[in-house]
């Protein structure tokens, strides 16, 4: 029986001959009396040149390289030419499958084993290109059922080769098998094939665990020197076992997704991992040293820690950049308040840091699915227990959206009067005029009357000055108007207003109402009050204080008549 290597040249030669034969048959079918292309070219001579149709690739490397360009290369070509390409690609798929089978049958140390991944990738490319040609010919009305059957057989053969490879796995090749490659290889398998695959991996894991057990027993029965040697060997084997368990879990997961029962396999995997026995100080030191230098022990954990730290650092820098971008974007939204900008920037930065923290935990090998489920359950419990906190959260969002005040505004709300220094989702921070800091829950702020003292640019200063009944109130009014109009911080529009407001028990009260900028309120209030006192003293206008007349009568003396003197 000829070998696969001897068959390949014959197949390639046949592939090269097929396009020419197909072209000749097409020419004869369309014009039986026309001369052959070569004869026609000889008859025409140099008058015209005929562009020959593209030829199928001669080698698998050429076929793989041209696979992505077939649609352009075969555009407007007749059906026989496309059929010739399809036949060539199908023949190359068969030849590459034979080559892959030969590589799988070679010894593990054979140099050909290094070409396995490359040949597998070439087969996938060739099958994909053949699929495209089949679709093209189907649209032209050709019968493609035989070609489709050949492609299905080729894919089945690839899967069977994968199973054969799993059956010949060694621990060295198994622990080096990439996990993503293993997932891709198992994905198209049926349930029965996955069960066979799992049996191969479990057998390999069982053999590794038996070897570890033998090393541990030998260490327990040996002297100190033997204990150290066997402990070191057991440490290396445990690292390899850990990598095997990762791949076995991948196969178990694939089995369960396809409807299989992986409970028994999971129970076995969990039962083979145990705390190694401590056989002595020297053995413990040797085991720890070997673990530190093991690719599956200390080195692996060190690399994971470095990866986690690098992830945190990169995400931290990204969060700072994203926060700056968010702040710049929010500043362009003129309708946004400083509190909303602060909230958005803080949320972006902290959200990215949280994502980075989860990514760092994932890099350390922590399974995030149970953790996320636990966070969700805890969130539900906390939501029910902390309804007041959620009320503060909702109130904080309402304050940010409707903006009754902003940072640096002076407000009077919930019994607190002062300047707003900031706000979180839970509390509003107010600094009073005597420099006390008050943290007011947002629910109390939103549920109470909010007086924003600095919301408007101008304010009216309301002051009342009382003069005695014996003083000239017209002159007092003139003095007050002079004081207001001469003050540089009193606004001309609206103009100041001074009126006799009340005839009180001890004084005639004049109300004084100048308009000022909000920032100048207290300066005007204090300046005008001081100036009024000085001017009233200078003008002789008395500012009375509450008075009461007390009448004394001698005991036994007749009381004076309150009706006045008797008129005669």
Q: Is the pLDDT of residue 487 over 70?
A: yes
Q: State mean pLDDT over 483-509.
A: 92
Q: Is the pLDDT of residue 403 over 90?
A: no
List the one residue out of 490, 491, 485 whose CA is nearest residue 524: 490
Which H/E stretch holds residue 196?
helix 191-220
Contact between 490 and 516 (Cβ < 8 Å): yes
List the one residue out of 68, 72, 123, 114 whose CA is nearest residue 93: 123
List the one residue out of 207, 186, 209, 210 whose CA is nearest residue 198: 186
Long-range contacts of 225-234 (CB under 8 A, 24+ apart): 225/282, 227/279, 227/280, 227/282, 227/283, 227/286, 228/282, 228/283, 228/285, 228/286, 229/286, 231/276, 231/279, 231/283, 231/284, 231/286, 231/287, 231/290, 232/286, 232/287, 232/289, 232/290, 234/276, 234/287
Contact between 39 and 134 (Cβ < 8 Å): no
Domain with CATH 2.30.30.60 in the chain: 388-452
What lies within 8 Å, CB to CB, of 4 at 6+ separation is 95, 98, 99, 101, 102
The pLDDT tens digits for 63-74 are: 888 887 887 788
Q: How many Å apart are CA 445 and CA 432, to the nearest integer? A: 15
Instruction: Give the pLDDT of residue 41.
Output: 44
DSSP 518: G
List the one residue out of 244, 250, 252 whose CA is nearest residue 296: 244
Architecture, CATH, for domain 388-452: Roll (2.30)
β-strands 497-503, 515-517 pairing: unpaired
Q: For residue 10, what pLDDT band results from cuts at 50, 70 and 90? A: very low
Return the structure tokens found at 483: 């004081």
Return the structure tokens found at 194: 């996955």
What lies within 8 Å, CB to CB, of 478 at 6+ separation is none
**Where is mean pLDDT largest: 186-190, 283-287, 331-335, 413-417?**
413-417
The pLDDT tens digits for 437-484 are: 999 998 899 889 999 988 899 999 999 999 999 899 899 999 999 999
Least confident of 148-152, 231-235, 241-245, 533-537: 231-235
Long-range contacts of 319-323 (CB under 8 A, 24+ apart): 319/348, 319/349, 319/350, 319/352, 319/353, 319/356, 320/349, 322/348, 322/349, 322/352, 323/348, 323/349
The pLDDT tens digits for 325-345 are: 888 888 887 766 676 777 788
Q: What are phi and psi of 5, to 5 degrees?
A: -65, -35
**Residue count of the chain:** 568
pTM: 0.40
Cα–Cα distances (Å) from 371 to 77, 349, 362, in that order, read: 59, 22, 11
List the one residue out of 21, 32, 27 whose CA is nearest residue 55: 21
Q: How many Å apart are CA 324 and CA 213, to the nearest integer? A: 57
β-strands 427-432, 458-460 pairing: unpaired
Q: How many Å apart are CA 472 and CA 521, to the nearest integer? A: 29
The pLDDT tens digits for 33-72 are: 444 444 444 444 444 455 678 888 888 888 888 887 887 7
**CATH of the domain spanning 458-539:** 3.30.70.100
Q: State mean pLDDT over 521-536.
A: 94
**Rounded to 5 degrees, what angle do the CA atoms 63, 68, 72 make?**
105
- Positive or negative, the CA dihedral 355, 360, 362, 363 is positive
Other Cβ atoms less than 10 A from the Cβ of 519: the count is: 12
Other Cβ atoms less than 10 A from the Cβ of 120: the count is: 19
Residue 366 in 3-state DSSP?
Answer: coil
Q: How many Å apart are CA 167 and CA 104, to the nearest integer? A: 11
Cα–Cα distances (Å) from 46 to 36, 263, 320, in that order, read: 17, 79, 73
Sheet with strand 451-452: strands edge to edge: 437-441, 427-432, 416-423, 410-413, 451-452
Domain with CATH 3.30.70.100 in the chain: 458-539
Instruction: Give the pLDDT of residue 9.
Output: 44
Residue 122 in 3-state DSSP?
Answer: helix
Other Cβ atoms less than 10 A from the Cβ of 14: the count is: 12
Instruction: Give the pLDDT of residue 283.
Output: 52
List the one residue out of 221, 216, 194 whose CA is nearest residue 273: 216
Q: Is the pLDDT of residue 411 over 90?
A: yes
Q: How many Å apart are CA 350 and CA 320, to the nearest integer? A: 10
Q: For residue 296, what pLDDT band results from cuts at 50, 70 and 90? A: low
**Percent of the chain surpassing pLDDT 90:** 19
């Amino acid at each position: 029986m000829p070998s696969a290597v001897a068959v390949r040249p014959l197949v390639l030669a046949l592939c090269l001959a097929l396009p020419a034969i197909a072209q000749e048959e097409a020419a004869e079918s369309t014009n039986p009396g026309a001369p052959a292309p070569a004869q026609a070219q000889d008859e025409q001579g140099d008058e015209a040149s005929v562009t020959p149709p593209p030829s199928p690739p001669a080698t698998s490397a050429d076929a793989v390289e041209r696979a992505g360009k077939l649609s352009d290369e075969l555009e407007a070509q007749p059906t026989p030419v496309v059929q010739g390409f399809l036949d060539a690609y199908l023949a190359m798929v068969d030849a590459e499958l034979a080559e892959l089978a030969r590589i799988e049958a070679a010894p593990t140390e054979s140099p050909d084993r290094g070409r396995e991944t490359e040949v597998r990738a070439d087969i996938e490319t060739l099958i994909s290109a053949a699929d495209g040609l089949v679709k093209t010919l189907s649209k032209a009305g050709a019968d493609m059922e035989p070609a489709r059957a050949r492609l299905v057989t080729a894919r089945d053969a690839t899967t069977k080769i994968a199973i054969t490879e799993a059956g010949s796995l060694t621990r060295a090749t198994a622990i080096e098998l990439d996990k993503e490659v293993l997932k891709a290889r198992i994905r198209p398998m049926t349930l029965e094939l996955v069960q066979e695959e799992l049996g191969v991996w479990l057998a390999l894991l069982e053999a590794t665990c038996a070897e570890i057990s033998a090393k541990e027993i030998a260490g327990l029965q040996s002297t100190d020197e033997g204990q150290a040697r066997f402990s070191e060997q057991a440490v290396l084997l445990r690292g390899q076992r850990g990598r095997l368990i990762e791949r076995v879990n991948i196969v178990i997961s694939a089995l369960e997704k396809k409807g299989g029962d992986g409970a028994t396999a999971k129970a076995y995997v969990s039962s083979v991992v145990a705390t190694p026995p401590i056989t002595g100080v020297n053995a413990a030191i040797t085991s720890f040293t070997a673990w530190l230098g093991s690719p599956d022990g200390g080195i692996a954990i060190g690399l994971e820690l470095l990866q986690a730290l690098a992830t945190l650092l990169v995400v931290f820098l990204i969060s700072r950049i994203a926060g700056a971008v968010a702040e710049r974007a929010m500043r362009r939204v003129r309708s946004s308040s400083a509190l909303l900008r602060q909230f958005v920037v803080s949320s972006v930065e902290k959200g990215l840091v949280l994502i980075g923290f989860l990514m760092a935990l994932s890099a350390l090998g922590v399974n995030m699915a149970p953790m996320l489920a636990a966070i969700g359950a805890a969130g539900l419990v906390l939501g029910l227990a902390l309804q007041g906190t959620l009320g503060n959260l909702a109130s904080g969002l309402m304050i940010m959206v409707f903006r009754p005040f902003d940072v640096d505004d002076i407000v009077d709300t919930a019994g607190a009067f002062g300047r707003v220094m900031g706000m979180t989702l839970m509390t509003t921070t107010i600094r009073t005029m005597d420099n006390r800091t008050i943290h007011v829950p947002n629910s109390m702020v939103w549920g109470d009357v909010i007086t924003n003292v600095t919301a408007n640019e101008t304010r009216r200063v309301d002051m009342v000055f009382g003069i005695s009944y014996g003083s000239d109130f017209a002159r007092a009014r003139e003095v007050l108007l002079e004081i207001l109009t001469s003050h540089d911080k009193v606004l001309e529009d609206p103009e100041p207003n001074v009126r006799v407001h009340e005839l009180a028990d001890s004084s005639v009260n004049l109300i004084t109402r100048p308009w000022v900028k909000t920032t100048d309120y207290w300066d005007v209030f204090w300046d005008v009050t001081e100036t009024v006192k000085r001017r009233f003293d200078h003008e002789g206008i008395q500012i009375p204080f509450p008075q009461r007349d007390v009448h004394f009568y001698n005991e036994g003396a007749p009381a004076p008549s309150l009706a006045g003197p008797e008129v005669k």
